Every structure is written in structure tokens, then in C-alpha cells.
Structure 1
Amino acid sequence: MCKVDVAIERYGLAAPTGRYDSVDDYLLARWTGADGGESEGYKSLTAWFNKRLLARVYERNGRDVTDVRLDAEYEALVGDDELDYGDVAADLATDGIDADELTGAMASWSTMRRHLNDCLDGEKPTVEASSDWERNSVDIARETVRQKAESALASLGKKGRLAGAGDAGVDVQVKVSCAECPTRVPLEDALDRGFVCQEHHAGADEMAEEAVRETGVAPDGGADSGGRLRAVLPIGALSSAGLALGEFSGAALELVAAAGMA
């Protein structure tokens, strides 16, 4: 049994409603969208599963269970702030709950991915290329910025405030910035790599490796200073792997307009 199966059996986890026979049925339905709702990704399902486990442990130990408490304490337990973790761990100990044991039983998003695909033989419907609305939205925004910049330059040229403005061409580039550090890269580069910032975007390596497995495109064999795998893929390969702008959670989108002589 995988880690998810072990947790389900050990803690007696059940589906939230009688509509589903088991937690596995519920996870599959939410992942594939089979219940008529929008299909969800590995990360959101992982968070749901871990909070379900957390609530079950709280119930067994007579600890109050509220959505607000679960959300706050879950973030503290899985986050990077050691002080927050220590505070919650100490509070859990008063109810006889071992925080290290509890977090050790939780699933990672890669574990959830393997559980859905391998253990449950799940198959998520492929998103058609025609639904690439994210790229279209960025292209529209880029064109809008270009037009407004050209209009502003023409006005500045007529007012004599910027020499050569009337003959200048405008190029607009979209960049994405990491929310945790100064890293800033062109959007196309981020799409090629499958992540914005390898250091701070959890699962970046797994995303790149998964894209390689699904598309058959080999990595370039490079590695960063920490020795971690760096996979570079063409945009078409990433599209077929189902990666979209929505994968870049925690990243800021930036439009940069540059003017030059035509």
C-alpha cells in the first residue's frame, strides 16, 4: 500500500458525503471532474486530504475542530516557519498529539499524483489545445500595452518632450517574478522550464520530470548550483503535458515595454 492508503486505513478516513463509497472515489471524482464539477489539481487535493487527516486526529483526541483552526494550524505544520511549527506542535502536545508523527503521515503532492495515477489507475481527460486561454489572455494584454505605449510615444513626440519618439518601435515582454526572492524571468522561459523559481516553487523538479516522462522530451542534463535537475522543454511539449499559467502559483506577472528606433 502507498502512503495515502496507509493513512486512510490507519486513521479510518471516510468520504465527506454518502454520495461516494470511499475517500478514493471522492479523490478520483474531484481530480477528473466526473461529478460534474471542475477538475482539481494534485496540490489542492493533497491539501484537502491532509486536512481531512488532521481533523480526524483532532476528533480522536478530543480537540476542537473548526475550519479556521484547521486552515491555520495546517499551514503552520507544513510551512517553513519553525516558530509557528513549534507553537502549534507544543499546543498539540497538550492534547496528546505528536506533531512530527502527524506531519509524517501526511501526503505530498507527488505522493497524491502517484496514488491517483498508479494505485487507482485514474485517467484525467486531456485538455484540448484550443482551450489555451491563458496564453491568449497574455497576448491580448501585451498587444494592448504595445498600442497604448505607441500612442503615448507619439503624443510625447508631438509635444517635443521626447526626441525620436514618433519613429520609435515598441516591444513588450511579459516577465514573471518569484514572490520569495528577486528572481524575474521572461514568461516564455518560465513555460519552457516548467517553473518560475526552482528554489522556492515546491515541486518544480517533479513538474519538469513529469513533463519529460509524459512528452518523451529528454532534459538538457544540466543542474543548478545545488545539483538539482534542470529540465528545459519546448513550449509545445509543455502544452501537451498540460502545464499552464495556473501552475505558477505565488508568481507575479509583469509587462515590460521597451522602446527603440524602428
Structure 2
Amino acid sequence: MSITYKSAEEVQGMRTAGRLASEVLDHLTGHIKPGITTKEIDRLAADFMKKQGTTSATLGYQPAGYPPYPASLCTSVNHVVCHGIPNDKPLKKGDILNVDVTVIKDGYFGDTSRMFMIGDVSIAAKRLVTLTYEAMWHGIVKVRPGIHLGDIGWAIQKFAESHGFSVVREFCGHGIGRNFHEEPQVLHYGKPGTLEELKPGMTFTIEPMINAGRRDVKEWGNDGWTIVTKDHSLSAQWEHTVLVTETGYEVLTLSAGSPPPPAFVPAQ
């Protein structure tokens, strides 16, 4: 599959899908607190998607070698790196949670995730969540025509490692549009000036998974999906979908409740 460059009409479709995905997270924010289960979060999201006229891209999703994914979103708690399946275990104070949502609207996919801190969390957990958000934005602000994907990966890796964290390498961002996963793959580590050159019309996710400990991960249990840190250290992830414009970038997964960009991000 080759990289697709989106037309103005296609970009508008992706803006709508991206905003609606983010609005699912807005809706969930007030409900995510100690005592709620991730399965209840999934139910709330599924109900909200029906109201907004979107479809979950994850429910029933089955890439080669995987069982069908059984939920409308992914919920990754504490040392779960990604693809956590919602369950009946209540969240407790001190937990950190990633909620990853992908919706389909009129044939376009919108993909975004946020971290949630449940009650009072440790200083170390808050630092990981905050700096992972900044790491994502260090990658986003690099985006413009003429740079290379390796520049994005290097910016994220350099920032994360400078704070003593590690970057997961087995999972990456991806192109997105009328398909859930398209080319290119967007690594969150790398070398400047390497990999594909960015051109206007490209759309892809930037979604670094950052570990407090070592970068090594493993599959957990036998559900075929859940990935955890090998050393049981905390992991955090944030995700936005971005468009390469003629002069820079546009974040397509923003809504009224989106966390503001860090202070170092220039106003657009």
C-alpha cells in the first residue's frame, strides 16, 4: 500500500471524524473516576457513538493473526502499554489510564487517545503522563513539508530519553484516512533525515508509548491483544491525528475538551 495524499474534500471528512473521536473522550472525561470499570467506560462510549452517528473502528477489528477485538475502544491501565481490553475491574485512586478511540464517520477514520489520572496519583506517574504528552507534541511541531519521518521520531526519542524514560519500538503511528491503517508507519524513535519525506496532504497519527522503565514489552495473558511492560513499570501514551499542510501541520483530532498544547507549542 502506498501513501495516500488527501484532497481538500477528504481532509474535511477527516476533520469531522477526528473531532467526533475527540468528543467521545470529552464525553467520557466526567465519568472516569475511582470505582468505574473500564467495561462501563466502553459502554458509555458505545452509547455516545450511536448518538453522534459514528461507528467504532475497533469493535470486531481483526488484522491477520489476531482474534476479533471485542470492544468499542482500548483501555490501558498502569503497566499496560496498549490494546488493553475493557473489563470488570474497578479503577482505583493512583491508577493511570489510556483511552484510545477510533471512530468511522462517512467512511473516514478519526483516531486519538488521552491519558487519565484516577484520583491522586504519584509524582512519578504524573510526571510520566505529563512528559509523554509533551513528547507527542515535540513530534507534532516538527511536521511540515520537506522534513522526514525520522525527524519526528528523533524529536520524541531525544525528549523522552533525556528525562530518563524509554520509547516502545514494537508499535508506531500510522497513516489514516479511508482506512484505519495506511502507509506510512510513523516510528517514535529514529535518526534525523531518514525515512519518508513529508508532503502536503499526508495524514497520520503520532502516538508515542513511553515507559517509566525499560522499553521492552510482552503480550499479556492469552487474549491476543494486551501488551504490557516486561519490567511492570508504568507506561503512558497520547495520540493525535495530524495533516501535513502547505506550511506546517494541522491537528485533526481536536475538540472543545482537548487538553491545551504545552507552552512551547507556537500558536496557530
TM-score grouping bracket, smaller chain normalisation: under 0.3
Between structures 1 and 2, the one with greater helix share: 1
TM-score by length of 2: 0.24
Between structures 1 and 2, the one with greater strand share: 2
Of structures 1 and 2, the larger Rg is shown by 1
